[in-house]
């Protein structure tokens, strides 16, 4: 609505219409009064005037009476035109599919309102403000609208910012409504009133949800076609996490955070967003979600699981075996190789090259960078010539998503920030596996800004944790609630991810270490028992012996 323009709702007021042509009416009345005065003067002074004067006065009287008649006719036509316009606008307001109301600085409704507004929310009580009227149906909306309305008229913040802070949506009896606020200002820009436009968006939201489900399903199929094994492992791991949530509710924070991270990376946005909302509701450390909230979240996962299950089929316990390896095993059996060598070959069938899970982690990092609007990092891989059992490593890779998110979201700076520090705009990650004596390790190194130990110490102190030495701070990184983020987002900031990852590593007999240098980068390395991986060179040697 343009600044200084009349309020279309206010124009409809009968009182306003009665004042529509005050100037012409006053002029007509003055002319009639002047005509009568002249007539009286003519009658009173007839003996004193000669005939030419009487004639002039008579002409003036007749002329003024005619002008008065013309002005009255013009005023009647103007009133009729305005009444016709009023009727036309009233017809529009009675038939438009949106709710239109106008409110002043006190939130009082002024002027007419559309029929849809009263049909949806009923007639407001006398003197009832906007937030009281609509708040009868949605208390949260009413409270937010009242607070925002006060800020709107204080004039401390810019008008556009205050309008954006007003609640944009409300609900009533299962229906959803979008709410817009359009200011009416005078020529000087001072706020006079606000027109509130309410639209029924129930069907729109249903359509949007259907479209999101379709996009989610398409993303799942894309992941399944690109790497079926990884996608099946993801589905099975989330199933396991929900099962663990039912028996270990005290670990709800870490479980929800891990489910959220993995679902976000695999495009299951409905579950990731539900996890984020559920996490946001756990305001106190150690707080547990209600059984009803967990059941609602599980229903969303089951819905997705049911949609992709028909496509993927049940693959639990299945090992993929290509014909080449099958032929090698068959040849070894026929050749009568020693039992221990044959056992190793059969054992290796359940293993895959470490390059495969590392490549999946690299894809996760690139996908996360795209979500954050950052340049895709350059990723270097080194599998160390190892083979790993996907089933044995499944839980660790599920927890490793937290390390990836920390590296991309916390570690790698924005392109502008990196260039200002003399770095390439595009960050770099190194993913590697290898052996150290009798242990195997997997690590992620980034060339980001390093860990902010001052921020870690601040959070550790606030939570009552030890924070005097570097060892204390490293330990604090794995404590729930410690994050260098000031605001939690859908990606990070809860301070539970690294603890969940260390729990997964310790469940396999491993341990996690952190090395970092401010402004240079961070290395996160997990050590695991040596039996968690096989050397690909050993298998090649067995195959050469068989050949």
Written in H, E and C, the secondary structure of 395-444 is: HHHHHHHHHHHHHHHHHCCCHHHHHHCCCCCCCEEEEEEEEECCEEEEEE
Mean pLDDT of all residues in 295-311: 85
Label residue 58 by pLDDT band (50, 70, 90): low
Percent of the chain with pLDDT over 90: 20
Q: Which residues pair with 428 in a beta bridge?
A: 378
Please determine, for residue 482, whether its predicted confidence score (pLDDT) is greater than 80.
no
The pLDDT of residue 18 is 41
Label residue 488 by pLDDT band (50, 70, 90): very low
Please determine, for residue 343, whether its predicted confidence score (pLDDT) is greater than 90.
no
The pLDDT of residue 14 is 40
Mean pLDDT of all residues in 399-418: 88
The pLDDT of residue 490 is 43
- Any residues with CB less than 8 A from the CB of 492 and at least 6 apart, and which? 405, 406, 409, 410, 483, 485
Between the two ends of the chain, the Cα-to-Cα distance in Å is 84
Element (H, E) at 138: none
Please determine, for residue 468, whether its predicted confidence score (pLDDT) is greater than 60.
yes
The alpha carbon torsion through 446, 449, 453, 455 (nearest 10 deg) reads -120
More confident residue, 544 or 356: 356
Please determine, for residue 7, whether its predicted confidence score (pLDDT) is greater than 60.
no
CA nearest neighbour of 261 among 405, 369, 429: 405
Least confident of 222-231, 382-391, 429-438, 461-470: 222-231
CA nearest neighbour of 439 among 528, 359, 501, 518: 528
Mean pLDDT of all residues in 123-130: 90
- For 364-387, the pLDDT digits (tens) are 899 888 888 888 899 999 999 899
The pLDDT of residue 283 is 59
Sheet-wide strand order for 533-535 = 352-353, 386-388, 533-535
The pLDDT of residue 279 is 78
Q: Which residues pair with 281 in a beta bridge?
A: none
Label residue 59 by pLDDT band (50, 70, 90): low
More confident residue, 232 or 72: 232
Contacts for 71-74 with beta carbons within 8 Å, 24 or more apart?
71/24, 71/25, 71/27, 71/28, 71/31, 72/28, 74/24
b/e sequence 387-406, b meaning 16+ C-beta within 10 Å:
bbbbeebbbbbbbbbbbbbb
**In terms of residues, how long is the chain?**
547
Mean pLDDT of all residues belonging to the chain: 79
Please determine, for residue 36, whether its predicted confidence score (pLDDT) is greater than 70.
no
CA angle 170, 171, 172 (to 5 degrees): 135
- For 312-329, the pLDDT digits (tens) are 665 555 666 667 777 877
The alpha carbon torsion through 13, 14, 18, 21 (nearest 10 deg) reads 40
Q: Are 466 and 433 in contact (CB under 8 A)?
A: no
The pLDDT of residue 20 is 43
More confident residue, 66 or 153: 153
Mean pLDDT of all residues in 496-523: 89
Mean pLDDT of all residues in 178-194: 89
Please determine, for residue 354, whether its predicted confidence score (pLDDT) is greater than 60.
yes
């Amino acid at each position: 609505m343009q600044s200084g323009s009349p309020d279309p709702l206010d124009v409809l007021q009968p009182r306003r219409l009665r004042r529509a042509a005050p100037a012409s009416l006053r002029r007509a009345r003055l002319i009639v009064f002047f005509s009568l005065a002249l007539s009286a003067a003519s009658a009173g002074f007839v003996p004193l005037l000669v005939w030419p004067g009487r004639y002039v006065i008579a002409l003036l009287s007749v002329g003024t009476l005619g002008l008065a008649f013309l002005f009255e006719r013009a005023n009647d036509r103007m009133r009729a035109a305005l009444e016709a316009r009023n009727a036309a606008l009233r017809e529009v307001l009675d038939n438009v599919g949106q709710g239109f109301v106008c409110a002043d600085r006190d939130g009082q409704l002024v002027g007419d309102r559309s029929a849809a507004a009263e049909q949806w929310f009923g007639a407001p009580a006398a003197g009832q403000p906007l937030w009281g009227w609509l708040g009868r149906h949605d208390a949260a909306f009413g409270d937010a609208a009242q607070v925002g309305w006060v800020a709107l008229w204080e004039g401390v913040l810019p008008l556009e910012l205050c309008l954006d802070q007003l609640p944009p949506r409300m609900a009533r009896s299962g229906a959803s409504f979008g709410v817009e606020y359009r200011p009416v200002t005078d020529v000087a820009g001072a706020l006079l009133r606000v027109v509130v436009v309410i639209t029924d968006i129930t069907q729109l939201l249903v359509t949007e949800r259907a479209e999101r489900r379709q996009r989610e399903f398409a993303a799942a199929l894309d992941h399944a076609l690109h790497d079926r094994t990884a996608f099946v492992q993801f589905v099975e791991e989330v199933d396991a996490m929900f099962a663990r949530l039912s028996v270990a509710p005290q670990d709800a924070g870490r479980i929800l955070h891990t489910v959220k991270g993995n679902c976000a990376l695999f495009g299951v946005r409905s579950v990731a967003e539900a996890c984020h909302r559920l996490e946001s509701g756990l305001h106190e450390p150690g707080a547990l979600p209600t059984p009803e909230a967990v059941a609602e979240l599980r229903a969303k996962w089951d819905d997705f699981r049911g949609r992709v299950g028909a496509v993927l089929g049940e693959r639990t316990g299945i090992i993929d075996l290509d014909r080449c390896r099958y032929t090698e095993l068959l040849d070894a059996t026929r050749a009568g190789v020693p039992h221990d060598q044959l056992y190793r070959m059969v054992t290796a069938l359940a293993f895959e090259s470490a390059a495969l899970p590392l490549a999946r982690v690299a894809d996760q990092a690139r996908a996360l960078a795209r979500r954050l609007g950052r340049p895709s990092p350059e990723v270097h891989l080194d599998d160390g010539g190892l083979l790993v059992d996907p089933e044995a490593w499944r839980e660790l890779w599920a927890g490793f998503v937290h390390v990836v998110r920390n590296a991309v979201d916390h570690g790698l700076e924005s392109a502008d920030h990196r260039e200002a520090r003399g770095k390439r705009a595009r960050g770099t990650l190194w993913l590697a596996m290898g052996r150290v004596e009798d242990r195997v390790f997997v690590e992620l190194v980034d060339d980001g800004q390093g860990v902010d130990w001052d921020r870690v110490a601040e959070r550790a102190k606030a939570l009552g944790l030890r924070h005097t030495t570097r060892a204390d701070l490293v330990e604090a990184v794995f404590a729930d609630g410690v994050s260098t983020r000031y605001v939690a987002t859908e990606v990070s900031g809860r301070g539970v991810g690294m603890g969940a990852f260390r729990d997964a590593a310790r469940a396999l007999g491993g341990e996690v270490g952190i090395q970092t240098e401010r402004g240079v980068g961070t290395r996160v390395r997990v050590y695991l028992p040596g039996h968690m991986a096989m050397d690909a060179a050993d298998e090649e040697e067995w195959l050469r012996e068989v050949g």
